[in-house]
Structure 1
Amino acid sequence: MSDRKFNLVTDPWIKVIEKGTNQEKAVSLIKLFQNAHDYRDLAGEMRSQDFAILRFLLAILTTVYSRFNANNEPYDWLTIDENTMQVSQSVDEDDYDQEDENDLLDTWKTLYQNGNGHFTGIVTKYLKRYEDHFCLFGEHPFYQVTESEYNQFVPTKKQIKAGKGPGTVAVKQINRQISESAHTPAVFSPKAGEFKNDIKLDEFVRWLITYQNFTGVTDKTKIKTTEKFSVSRGWLYQLNSVYAAGNTIFQTLMLNLVLMRKGKMYYPQKPVWEYESVEDYVNKRKEQQIPDNIAEIYTSWSRILHIDWHQGERPTIFSAGIPMFDSQDAFIEPMTIWRIDKKSNRYKPAVKWLQSLGTAMWRNFGQYVNVNGTDDMHEPGIVEWLNLLKNKGIIPYNSHLTLASATLVSDGNATSQAPAAEVYDDMHINADVLFDKRNPNYWPKRIEDTIELTQIIGKDFWQFAMKIGQIRNSDAAPFANRLSSKFYESLNEPFKAWLAHLTNHDDREREIELWKETLRKLVLDAASQVIQASSPRDIRGLVDDKGIVNNIFTANNHLRYKLQVDLKIERKG
């Protein structure tokens, strides 16, 4: 099988939805960048897979347009090697100034506003220069190492001999729709047992990129290092992702194309394929230093993989863990929300867990925007970037932005970190609302206050559900949690619609009152559904120590009272 050929640059492997036909098709890297405006969205097997591939595409664009402008010319303040197309001399901090930042912003503006909806020829030229690194087979196999390189990195007893060795993972394990190990069969799988390891090359490439980003910790093989390290999960597994979604792939790529960080030094981009050798890359990873550039963090490996195709259509995949850099204060990563770690008092990505699956993005609005302007909150880099574009007038102030999240959530088991759920969510908001100027009518603060009020009402409903559970002599807390979860699900679409229609010209009080009215109706509707399903026991109720009857009607009356007090609106109905 060594004579097989498949190259990501020229062979179709990226699944997209055509804008004109709404049909799915596969395209190569060159075709995607040449016709990005013609495709509505990525259309891989999973949203999290699309997210991993989006970042891979952005690594290419960030690398190219941080070196070349929209006219395919190197920036005057950079020295570019004509052969490698890489920055050949480091940029001195004293020489990098506002004008250089403006050059990068001008490139972004020209690309975004040129109306063609595709990227310039320099991207194709770059891809052809590194074409051999995007070949699935050959001397520089894509996202892999050769057998000799693999054996060089791992202990002797873990080496590959005659095509066999320990530390293998099956196709059905890197396929995150299945994620089946040798010891834990996946019962609810999209493929039957005998076909779980069958895969076509284009799909294999998509899962290869995804697996490097969403790797569990079941591996027993690690590379040799002087200091011990624990096998780490993939980098994206450690994030609660956020990115900007556009109406086309071109818009999505552009909105997430972060070419500079305001007030930060210029660092040359270094995607994994630009390292002189795999050995250089692995040695760099042994240092466990946070990358100083976006392309490197977007293409970070969690494993060295050697893929042997000599057994036929089903490859043998050898995997060895490599050290992962620390996630604390890794602000070069723009696509995550952050939280303060109480032990270290440093920022860490706010990982999503199974316990928070039902919490929609809008309920954590304050994690995306520094509502109070305090030092204990760090905005996601992508939000800072969009704010910069808006403040510079590069995107219109009334642009409708979509912040989205595609997250693969692990089972929380420290010894496996196997995928347990996938969560996709989004929220739509006008740029002039999200990035409103700070004043008494500052929209983000008013929105956050409204969300806090909504959470209070959610607690009122939970207490109502608790009383019903107690009357029914059931396990009240789980019952209340189930009803509460269903209630919040009913809030998601109405709140997102309310958020999306806000503008900076609105009367804040009037808009908030409209939401409060909507919220009150939704609460009463939810309570009404419970009452309609009431039993004689619910109506009869319980008598407390003071001889007071507590039944479903008294619980409902108390809920209505709480609504009147907390919402501070006229009692209706």
Structure 2
Amino acid sequence: MDNKSFNLVTDPWLKVIEIQSNQERTVSLTELFENSQNYRQLAGEMHSQDLAILRLLLAILTTVYTRFDTNGELYSWLEKGINELTVDQEMYDDTGQHDLLATWKSLHQAGHFSEIVVQYLEQHQNRFDFFGEQPFYQATTEDYDALVPENKRVAAGKGQVSIKQINRRVSESANTPAIFAPKSGEAKNEIQLDELVRWVIAYQNFTGVTDKTKVVTTEKFSNPAGWLYRLNPVFVKGESLFETLMLNLVLINTRKSDAEYVFQKPVWEYPTVHDYVEMRKKQILPDNLAELYTAWSRLLHIEWRDSGQPAIFSAGIPMFAADSALIEPMTTWRLDKKTNEYRPALKGLQSVGIAMWRNFGQYVKVKQADDIHEPGMVIWLRKLKKEHLIARNAPLILNSIALISDGNATSQSPAVELIDDMQLQADVLFDPEIADYWPTRIEGVIEQTQTVGKDYYHFASDIATIRNVETRPFASALSAKFYDRLNEPFKQWLAGLTGEDDRDEKINLWKDQLKEITTQAVADVMQSPSPRDIKGISGEKGLLNIFTAKNRLMFNLRTHLDPEKG
């Protein structure tokens, strides 16, 4: 592969969907940033892959627009030295945040990114070549050999990870075949170059822990999972790729109004791979988003065979802790009562069937006294609304993409990918009302809805008892179907709320719909009853058949939705 080049700045590798034609296209970084307003979304092999690439794109934009305004002019509080930029912190304190928000507003109004982004990419083009002297997201043979144990160097052939492992649609290790993969046999290890680039970026973010090779350190460490794999990701989805990038482009520290200016340092701006790995050995949480968004979990080196297929060497790098990593804007948080620290509220296999809206209180602070930390993205959106940079009635779509592991501590292989969203108007999400605060009312409705969900579960348990089948699997399956019926109607109800609504009227509309959905779900269960369903069984509380089970549910429904009638 001598003299070969594949430069991400100029060569097509990003899959997108065009708005006008609704067709898929493959574009370069330059094309993407010049035409993001014409693309609906990224369109890679998996949604989680798209999220990893979205963060890479945001790292570029955050780096550029925290240094230059839309005209490509260096901010007045920055000064260009011989080798690096310096900041006048006093000047930044006076006008810095105002200037950065003015840049965001100018870009948003223009409807496209400015020329300075492409100029930045051209300046760093040599670091975006997949086959360059410092290959993109990789180490050279010399760098890799210098950082791993002697017996794990490239010539030894150890520590390889196959294409079918990096491809998270397959995720097949050497020991356990992926039976239901979209490829079979040798095809699992075949890949086109542009797809390989996408998977390398995704793998750094969603790495499992099956590989054993590590970089040499003075202190022992366990190979970490990828950073995104350790979060419950949430971001904002716009009507175009440009809008998605803009809404997620956090240019100021939203958690501290008096925060100092921090230089963005994506991984490609480190002078050498050695410098980056040495920094990572300290396990210090990045203080800037560009570095966080481009954090590696593995030191990768790619050797190219005569067949044109790659041999990929992988070594673990120490990872910083997720505890109190509140700089990360794309996750929900939970308070660890033992350590009193906030940790990402991870999703596991047990929560696969729980829709996003049911955890509404994790995304927006329902009560000021709540001990939750809102996702940084929600705080950023609140800032944009407060500064009148987004409209009061702007539809805001919070999108969640979670790649959930199998829960096995020794592998953490991907088991399922969850995609969900929740749309609310800006005035609903950030309701200025105090006495009738929409988020508090919404949380109350969700609590009532889930109480009805429990009532339905008890109904399903009664049916299982009548039919003499195992209660938990039967009731859980019916409960899951019940929530499937609720998900879309509730999401539509949320999306239809406005700041001017009569709260009680809107809530009663949902209650009526909830009664209808519950009644229909019960009717479906009671279709074609068996003689045993009708005859029933004798229990501690008397006769139990499908009719008494239904009556009990309907009584609970009235009690929990209409207390006066109940």
- Contact 1:2–1:309 under 8 Å retained in 2: no
Distance 1:517 1:37 in 2: 41
Are the aligned partners of 2:302 and 2:313 in contact in 1 as well (CA < 8 Å)? yes
Deviations 1:338-387 (A, max 9, x none): 00112211000111111101111111110010110125110100100010
**Residue identity opposite 1:135 in structure 2:** D
The aligned counterpart of 1:279 is: 274
Q: Which runs of 5+ in 1 are unaligned?
A: none
Rounded to whole Å, the distance in 1 between the matches of 2:273 and 2:370 is: 40
Q: Please tell me the root mean square deviation across aligned C-alpha atoms, in Å.
A: 1.4
The amino acid that maps onto 2:240 is: T
Q: What's the counterpart of residue 73 of structure 2? A: 73
Asked whether the equivalents of residues 14 and 27 of structure 2 are also in contact (C-alpha less than 8 Å), the reply is yes
Residue in structure 2 matched with residue 113 of structure 1 by the alignment: 109
Distance verdict in 2 for CA 1:457–1:302, change over 3 Å: same
- Unaligned 5+ segments in structure 2 are none
Task: Map Cα deviations across residues 12-70 of structure 1 (whole Å, 9 max, x no partner).
Answer: 01000000000001000000000010001111110001100000000000000000001
Q: What TM-score do the two structures reach when normalised by structure 1?
A: 0.96
Q: Which residue of the other structure, out of 70, 80, 85, is the alignment partner of 1:88?
A: 85
Provide the rounded CA distance (Å) in 1 between the counterparts of 2:540 and 2:138: 71
Measure the CA separation in 2 of the matches of 1:564 and 1:76: 64
Moved more, 536-545 or 324-333: 536-545
Instruction: Indicate if the aligned counterparts of 1:230 and 1:323 stay in contact, CA closer than 8 A.
Output: yes
TM-superposed CA distance for 1:571, in Å, is 6.9
Aligned residue in 1 for 2:214 = 222
Q: Retained in 1: the 8 A contact 2:70–2:106?
A: yes
Cα gap change, 1:375/1:571 in structure 2, threshold over 3 Å: closer, same or farther?
closer
**Partner SS for 1:89:** strand
Render the CA deviation track for 1:313-350: whole Å, top value 9, x for unaligned: 21000000000001011111100000011221100011
Match of 1:338 among 314, 333, 351: 333
Q: Is the 8 A contact 1:58 1:257 kept in 2?
A: yes
Give the equivalent residue in structure 2 for 1:502: 497
* Structure 2 partner of 1:61: 61
Partner of 1:124: 118
Deviation for aligned residue 1:392 = 0.4
Q: CA deviation at 1:231?
A: 0.6
Larger deviation, residues 102-111 vs 341-350: 341-350
Counterpart Cα distance in 2 of 1:68 and 1:376: 37
Instruction: Confirm or deny that 1:561 pairs with 2:555.
Output: yes
User: In the TM superposition, what whole-angstrom CA distance separates every residue of 1:191-215 from its partner, at most 9, and x where no partner exists?
Assistant: 1211111111110110010000000
CA distance in 2, matches of 1:346, 1:375: 15
Aligned partners of 1:533, 1:30: CA distance in 2, in Å?
62
Q: Distance in 1 between matches of 2:234 and 2:493?
A: 21
Paired residue for 1:16?
Answer: 16
C-alpha distance in structure 2 between counterparts of 1:494 and 1:26, whole Å: 36
- Of residues 231, 234, 253 in structure 1, which corresponds to 2:226? 234
For the residues of structure 2 that align with 1:63 and 1:11, how far apart are their CA atoms?
A: 22
Partner residue, 2:95: 99
Tell me, yes or no, if structure 1 residue 443 matches structure 2 residue 438: yes
**1:37 alignment partner AA:** Q
- SS of the equivalent of 2:529 reads coil
**CA distance in structure 1 between the aligned counterparts of 2:304 and 2:80, rounded to whole angstroms:** 38
Q: CA deviation at 1:529?
A: 0.6
Which residue in 2 is equivalent to 1:430?
425
| Amino acid of the structure 1 residue aligned with 2:374 | E
- State the Cα distance separating 1:98 from its structure 2 match: 4.7
* CA contact 1:222–1:231 (8 Å) conserved in 2: yes
For these two proteins, the number of residue pairs brought into alignment is 563
Q: What amino acid maps onto 2:148 in structure 1?
A: V
How far apart are 1:90 and its partner, in Å? Answer: 4.6
Distance 2:543 2:137 in 1: 68
Which of 469, 472, 479 is the matching residue for 1:477?
A: 472
Equivalent runs, 1:382-401 vs 2, <5 Å: 382-401=377-396
Alignment partner of 1:154 out of 135, 148, 169? 148
User: What residue in structure 2 maps to residue 381 of structure 1?
Assistant: 376
CA contact (8 A) 2:335 2:342 kept: yes
If the length of structure 2 is used for normalisation, what is the TM-score?
A: 0.98
Residues 81 and 357 (structure 1 numbering): CA distance in 2 closer, same or farther, change over 3 Å?
A: farther
In the aligned structure 2, how far is the partner of 1:37 from the partner of 1:397?
22
Which SS does the other structure have where 2:86 is aligned?
A: coil
State the match for 1:6 in structure 2: 6
Which amino acid in 2 is paired with 1:3? N
1:35 match: secondary structure: helix
Corresponding residue number in structure 2 for 1:28: 28
Q: 1:389 & 1:259 partners in 2: Cα distance?
A: 11
Cα distance in 1 for residues equivalent to 2:26 and 2:166: 21
Which SS does the other structure have where 1:313 is aligned?
Answer: coil
Q: Deviations over 1:265-316 (max 9, x none)?
A: 2200000000011111001100101100000000000000000013422100
**Matched residue SS, 1:318:** strand
Amino acid at match of 2:181: S
Deviates more, 1:366-375 or 1:29-38: 366-375
Q: Does 1:194 align with 2:191?
A: no
Query: Structure 1 vs Structure 2: percent identity of aligned residues?
Result: 57
User: For residues 570 and 374 of structure 1, what CA distance do their matches in structure 2 show?
Assistant: 30
* Cα offset, 1:444, TM superposition: 0.5
Q: Supply the AA of the counterpart residue of 2:142.
A: S
Partner of 2:364: 369
2:16 maps to a residue whose letter is V
1:170 matches 2:194: no
Question: Does structure 1 residue 292 correspond to structure 2 residue 287?
Answer: yes
Residues 451, 375 of structure 1: alpha-carbon distance in 2 compared, 3 angstrom cutoff: closer
Q: Single out whichever of 437-446 and 239-248 deviates more from structure 2.
A: 437-446
1:528-547 aligned within 5 A? 528-545=523-540
Task: Give the structure 2 partner of residue 207 of structure 1.
Answer: 199
Shift of residue 549 of structure 1? 1.0
Give the deviation of 1:3 after TM superposition.
2.7
- 1:39 paired to 2:65: no
